[in-house]
Structure 1
Amino acid sequence: METRTLTVPGGTLHAVSSGAPAGPSAVLVHSGIAHGQMWHPLMEALSEEMFSVAYDCRCFGRSTTTLDGEFSDLADLGSVLDAYGLESTVLVAESRGARLAIDFALAHPERVDGLFLLAPDVSGFDSPVADEERPLLEAVGEAEEAWDTAEPADVPRTVEELIALEVRLFVDGPGREQAPERAAVREAVAEMLRLNYTQQKDTPDFTRPEPAADRLAKLDVPVRVLVGDADTLGMRATAEEIERAVPQASLVRVPDAAHALTLEREETVVRELRTWWRELRQLPQSGE
């Protein structure tokens, strides 16, 4: 894989690409509990079929920002496409990244050929909360506030407490025990969160586009959605809303999986993306 540092107004974006640049392309947008590294196994698995680019959003991973004012995640995503000479591309995105991808597709429909969305968030969607999930969600919110207001000496402790709760919510899910077989995924997410939090205190605000929830029907591209059946009620409801509202959307429910689908169910995500990618390009399926 090839690594590049892309210059954007008031910062830099860390990007990695894989596959043949002349081939069909996909840009991968990470979740809020990770950075671009979460995509590396998938990129390697599909390197013969697609040219893929994964990048760290500003204030995540190894990207940087020096801005005093607001920045635009959508403009940064557009800069990634421009840097690699992509007039249009498929967007593969998870969670917060899926929200960004949807917003970008609505703002720049001519640049998006399709959306492959994992555990998607949608800006402006009022997602429900199950009663049994409230204690954990409230604990995460309290931990975020404690970290955000902590004195410098208390930051290491508060960030580890926050990471532990986020891993519990997003990797294991609110209704599953912390099973030993997910230990490697928990540690991978924790490590990415530690790097993210080193640069997420006192960061500039990002511009908020018009909410997408009431405009999903305007998405005029093929959309495939994956959601884990052990994810939160809100995430499952969001995925179902996309399936209902978007004309060319289809939904795949992943059994015994929570929010970090790409890391927990790598083989499933690779298989589903490959199948959808072939459908999109009208290529023969395996065995045909």
Structure 2
Amino acid sequence: MTHARTHAVTATTVPVEAGELFCESAGEGPPVVLLHGGMLDLNMWNEQFSWLASLGYRVIRYDARGHGRSSTVAGDYANHDDLHALLTHLDVPCAVLVGLSLGARTAVDTAIAHPESVSALVLASPGVSGRPFADPYVAHHTAQQMAVIGDPDGGAQRFVEHFLRMWVDGPYREPSQVSRTLRERMHASASANVVRHARGLGAGMPREVGAADRLASIGVPTLVLDGELDSSDISSNAQAITRAVPDARHQRFASAAHMVNLESTGPFNLAVESFLVSTTDLN
């Protein structure tokens, strides 16, 4: 897709409460915002960023607070308010939000807290604020992560490995059954985040809207995407959104776990393109 390279990328930092967000944008047209997963950064959207710009959209991606090149957490904050501040700064009154995992969780909260700012939602491997994690597999690896925090003897790398087991491999695969390239790429992103934002660990908590009981109030077109090999927590989130949000559509990818945009890139892109065509005006 070399034609996508003709779109110049604009990089900027956007001020938010007690910090700033690093942001990139490309293309012109209806705005689409890409929201990355937890422990990762905006580069997880490399396969979609330029491609969507080439289709005729203004594509915006940014590093959430405590991730990538954005500010380290220094106190309580709200991801949905950060996103609203970013849209206001970029003079984007309303956008399609495409989020994965934490990014989907933020997108849902934004649709509830700032409904005027959201025209449609693509929620991949979605998190939902207010819905507890119940999968024993996730609970086990989360407990292992907590146990190694602050261990100077390789604790950070073990923390990242448990992240990969949960959110790259998933509960149904061993690391050897997962694309080595994907695993190495996610390892590099997560490791860089752990190093860069270590001092923010425990420095503040995200304020959220408790979306679990408010999903039915979402009034925009919604597409839910998840992988068959993901945690039961994510499957149950996807089902809850699909049931509660009026006219929400749901598509599942058979050979993917959590990182559906990277493991099932072709089908994922096709689903997103079809949804955007049906919900945005490119004229």
Q: What is the TM-score when the length of structure 1 is the normalising length?
A: 0.88
Matches of residues 1-288 of structure 1 in structure 2 within 5 Å? 1-20=9-28, 23-48=29-54, 49-65=56-72, 67=74, 69-126=75-132, 128-129=134-135, 134=136, 136-150=137-151, 153-154=152-153, 157-179=154-176, 182-198=179-195, 199-203=197-201, 204-281=203-280
Runs of 5+ unmatched residues, structure 2: 1-8
| Residues 232-260 of structure 1: CA deviation (Å, up to 9, x unaligned) | 11111110111101002110011111001
Distance (whole Å) between structure 1 residues aligned to residue 162 and residue 205 of structure 2: 25
| Residues 124-172 of structure 1: CA deviation (Å, up to 9, x unaligned) | 124542xxxx3x434422332133243xx33xx1111121222122212
Confirm or deny: 8 A CA contact 1:88 1:110 kept in the other structure.
yes
Runs of 5+ unmatched residues, structure 1: none
Distance (whole Å) between structure 1 residues aligned to residue 173 and residue 138 of structure 2: 14
Confirm or deny: 8 A CA contact 1:127 1:237 kept in the other structure.
no
TM superposition shift of 1:282: 6.5
TM superposition shift of 1:272: 0.9
Distance (whole Å) between structure 1 residues aligned to residue 205 and residue 88 of structure 2: 20
Confirm or deny: 8 A CA contact 1:10 1:65 kept in the other structure.
no
Distance (whole Å) between structure 2 residues aligned to residue 217 and residue 279 of structure 1: 21
Q: Secondary structure at the match of 2:185?
A: helix
- The number of residues matched between the two structures is 272
Q: What is the TM-score when the length of structure 2 is the normalising length?
A: 0.90
TM superposition shift of 1:281: 2.6
Q: Secondary structure at the match of 1:117?
A: strand
Runs of 4+ aligned residues of structure 1 deviating over 3 Å after TM superposition are 200-203
Q: Equivalent pairs: percent with the same residue?
A: 32
| Residues 211-241 of structure 1: CA deviation (Å, up to 9, x unaligned) | 1111100000000000000001111111011
